[in-house]
């Protein structure tokens, strides 16, 4: 075999006669005239052409995605979207845990009056601005004045031998008792009633998106934040242990710690949150940690 190849290489440009004989049969030998250089050229051209065909198929078909570092733009886009979804789920889980903790404190009567992360960041920015311009920020000067300690003036304590008086700062801190029944937070159509057996501790009132949601009584905002299931949520602490909650709003008009008056607008209705079927207000009423059927406390439902 090697001798044949050596003959080919020595006589690349000459015409060589190749004789083919069958050792098992007595047939006349077959003769072929070939030129080694031409055979080599044809072989090289065939290999080159086959390589071009293979490369073209790989580059112009989905097979390209199997090559390292050659993922398609669709795959890269899907990877980015998946990463965004994972980050969103992580943020949602964090917000959900915060909501559960706040709701637990709310029901157990140990409400954490610490402002939310968003409110805290706004306060920090406002504080920096006030430091630059030398003026108190709105948050520092108005919203949280009522929370300066002691929030309950000592003058109102029934200490024997002392006169009952109200300080100038504490005179406006006290809330009026809610006189039930009261007007509903919005005017609309009740689409779902209170049902404790199914865990629906509220009534759903269908309204046009953007309708003003009003507080049922005087109180202080103890929760104003976005949650995964309820969307934009605002909760108000009233006197005598009552707490009203308004969910699925499109925009909140009050912040945590702000005081609200009866019938004052606290939010705009919407369709925010995952558990919703259209623009409506999910209204809850709690008393000393127990859910109440709002239809017994609200007129016109």
For residues 152 and 193, state if they share a domain.
Answer: no
Is 32 part of a structural domain of the chain? Answer: yes
Determine, yes or no, domain membership for 90: no
Of 183 and 175, the one with more pLDDT? 183
pLDDT score of 13: 73
Predicted model pTM: 0.50
Q: How far, in Å, are 46, 49, 51, 70 from residue 54 at the CA level?
A: 12, 9, 5, 16
By the 8 A CB rule, do 29 and 21 touch? Answer: yes
Range 176-188 average pLDDT = 94
Instruction: Report whether pLDDT(114) > 50.
Output: no
Given a cut of 60, whether residue 129 has pLDDT beyond it is: no
Question: How much is the pLDDT for 46?
Answer: 93
**144 domain residue, yes or no:** yes
CB 248 within 8 A of CB 276: yes
Q: Is residue 75 part of a domain?
A: no
Note down the domain range covering 239: 189-296
Please report whether residue 138 resides in a domain: yes
pLDDT at 1: 59
**Cα 36 to Cα 13: distance, rounded to the nearest angstrom:** 7
| Residue 76 placed within a domain | no
Nearest to 103 by CA among 258, 201, 235: 235
What is the average per-residue pLDDT within 113-129?
48
Residue 197 sits in the same domain as residue 135: no
pLDDT per position as a tens digit, 208-243: 999 999 999 999 999 999 988 899 999 999 999 999
Same domain, 194 and 261: yes
Please tell me the least confidently modeled range out of 1-15, 123-137, 180-194: 123-137
111 neighbors 105 (Cβ within 8 angstroms): yes
Last residue of a domain, one of 156, 175, 203: 156
Residue 80 has pLDDT above 90, yes or no: no
**Cα distances (angstroms) measured from residue 146 to each of 44, 263, 267:** 91, 20, 21
Q: Are 194 and 265 contained in the same domain?
A: yes
Higher pLDDT residue, 28 or 44? 44
In a domain, 19, yes or no: yes
Statement to judge: residues 147 and 210 lie in one domain? no
**Do 203 and 295 form a contact (C-beta atoms < 8 A)?**
yes
- Whether residue 288 lies inside any domain: the answer is yes
Same structural domain, 226 and 292: yes
Concatenating the DSSP letter of every residue in 91-157 gives: HHHHHHHHHHHHHHHHHHT----PPPHHHHHHHHHHHHHHHHHTS--HIIIIITGGGSSSSS-GGGS
Number of domains in the chain: 3
**Mean pLDDT (whole number) for 95-100:** 80
Helix axes 2-10, 36-60, angle to 10 degrees: 100
| One domain for residues 55 and 121 | no
Q: How confident is the model at residue 144 (pLDDT cuts 50, 70, 90)?
A: low
Same domain? 264 vs 202: yes
The residue whose two tokens read 């290489």 is 9
Give the model's pLDDT for residue 48: 93
Name, in order, each residue with C-beta under 8 angstroms of 223's C-beta and a sequence gap of 6 or more.
102, 106, 233, 234, 235, 245, 256
Q: Rounded distance, CA 105 to CA 111, Å?
A: 5
For residue 211, the domain's CATH number is 2.70.70.10
């Amino acid at each position: 075999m090697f001798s044949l190849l050596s003959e080919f290489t020595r006589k690349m440009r000459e015409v060589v006669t190749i004789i083919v004989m069958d050792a098992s049969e007595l047939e006349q030998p077959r003769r072929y005239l070939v030129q080694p250089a031409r055979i080599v050229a044809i072989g090289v051209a065939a290999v080159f052409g086959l390589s071009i065909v293979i490369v073209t198929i790989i580059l112009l078909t989905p097979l390209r995605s199997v090559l390292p570092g050659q993922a398609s733009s669709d795959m890269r886009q899907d990877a980015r979207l998946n990463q965004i979804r994972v980050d969103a789920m992580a943020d949602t889980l964090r917000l959900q845990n915060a909501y559960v903790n706040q709701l637990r404190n709310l029901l157990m009567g140990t409400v954490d009056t610490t402002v939310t992360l968003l409110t805290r960041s706004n306060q920090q920015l406002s504080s920096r601005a006030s430091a630059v311009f030398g003026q108190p920020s709105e948050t520092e000067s108005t919203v949280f004045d009522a929370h300066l300690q002691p929030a309950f003036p000592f003058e109102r304590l029934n200490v024997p031998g002392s006169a009952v008086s109200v300080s100038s700062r504490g005179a406006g801190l006290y809330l009026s008792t809610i006189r039930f029944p009261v007007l509903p937070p919005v005017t609309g159509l009740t689409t779902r009633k209170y049902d404790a057996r199914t865990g629906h501790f509220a009534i759903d009132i269908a309204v046009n998106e953007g309708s003003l949601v009003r507080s049922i009584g005087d109180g202080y905002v103890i929760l104003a934040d976005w949650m995964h299931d309820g969307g934009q949520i605002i909760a108000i602490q009233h006197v005598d242990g009552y707490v009203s909650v308004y969910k699925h709003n499109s925009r909140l008009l009050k912040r945590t710690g702000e005081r609200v008056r009866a019938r004052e607008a606290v939010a705009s209705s919407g369709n925010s949150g995952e558990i919703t079927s259209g623009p409506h207000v999910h209204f809850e009423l709690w008393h000393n940690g127990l859910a109440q059927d709002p239809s017994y406390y609200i007129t016109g439902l």
